[in-house]
Amino acid sequence: MVSLADAKRVVITGIGVLSPYGVGKQSFFEGIRTGRSGIRRVSLFDDPGIASQVAGEVPGFDPADFVDPQDLKRVPRVAPMAIGAAREALLDAGIDPLKLSTEEKRRIGVVIGTGGGGIDFAEKQYEAFYGAGTRHVTPYCVSSSFVGMLSSEVSIAFGFNGPSHVLSTGCTSSTDAIGYATRMIRSGTEETILTGGAEACITRGLLAGFSRMKVVSTRFNDCPQKASRPFDGDRDGFVLSEGAWMFVLESETRAKKRGANIYAEVAGYGSTCEAYHRVAVRQDGVEPARAMKLALEEASAELSDVRCVNLHGTGTQMNDAMETRAIKLLFGSRASGLATSALKSMIGHPQGACGAAGVAAAIFTLNEAFVPPTINQESPDPECDLDYTPNKGRSFETDSVLCNTIAFGSKNSALYLRKAKK
């Protein structure tokens, strides 16, 4: 293990996005700047028996734009999403896969986070099996249903022969993927990794399951744009969403040698587990606070260096109150002076991809000196009393952003991003 003193700096040189605002990073950046909601009535299926009828679907997304039409029946929806975002990220970084040599392709790895992976594909295959029998099940049922297929699809799409890994740790998946990719580059084992998160989990089965758990919003079906309201007193659960947020990570040395544009440095990563419960979280906030502290320690940063935090902010009663306590526990009297933001208020909760979405928002803050808002802040909650940048984003100069994520199974992960040194 390379000591932090000798480790390479890791930077982000390319960004690609498919989000509930549409295809492309510019639509995402414009959406979070204006504080526009990307939540609508569910259109991917029609099942009035499901209590929650709202979601954050990617408008204008055509899988055939990113995958050979002949392959569409062989891959889940998440694969072309990841490939589309990856393509944009690569081109944004000035890397054209068609112009790379065989040796150059061998030096590019893929590390992606996803929670559900091909869950939509699996649901359809179960319907086919139980409805019509084994002859109607595709030979790709197994390979395209597992989460592990996602990085393989991306590696195959671009011909990359480096490591191809998937991390699936629930809602911390893409945070962990970016953290692991960063450590791979920092240690010197890799120089370029395509990383981030992708999720296409708006399915009948999953939404029905979350509805039964009573963790998704059900009171705003007739007003979808109001449904996602983290930290608000009238919140009643998260809004399921989808999308892909992909990045090109490189060693700073390699990026500067190429003359690449550097968006930010991934300076630190921290992860903990409460070892407490399958779905509930401890209310003291100790382990989420420790994960954030570990990210700062890895970056050799002080608490006083942090002025802005991208919150997990799902919109459930327990999680939002607990995360507020975690911030207070970590920052003490400074907590009330932090500029914080809950991205999910605008785009919903893309499960395993939410950490990568937060990183994209953090990059926007660092480069545009602007903190996106937490919209739908209408009814104060005494337990949630931080500065969440309510309803309207604002100009805000900062050299760093701390990104927090929390997952089922008592998992907590955080990333610390800062402006790259000139």
Q: Indicate which residues carry an active-site annotation.
A: 171, 312, 349
For residue 114, give Cα distances in angstroms to 59, 91, 261, 345, 354. 20, 23, 27, 20, 9
Phi/psi of residue 158, nearest 5 degrees: -110, 0
Residue the block writes with tokens 């030096």: 107
- Asked whether the beta carbons of 403 and 416 are under 8 A apart, the reply is yes
CA dihedral 94, 371, 269, 293 (to 10 degrees): 160
Rounded Cα gap, residues 359 and 266, in angstroms: 9
Rounded Cα gap, residues 173 and 176, in angstroms: 5
Count Cβ atoms within 10 A of the Cβ of residue 69 and give its class: 0-12 exposed, 13-18 middle, 19 or more buried. Answer: exposed
C-alpha radius of gyration, the chain, whole number: 20
Q: List the beta bridge partners of residue 403.
A: 310, 415
Position 122: which residue type? Answer: A
Q: List the beta bridge partners of residue 240.
A: 349
For residue 155, give Cα distances in angstroms to 97, 105, 139, 370. 11, 10, 21, 34
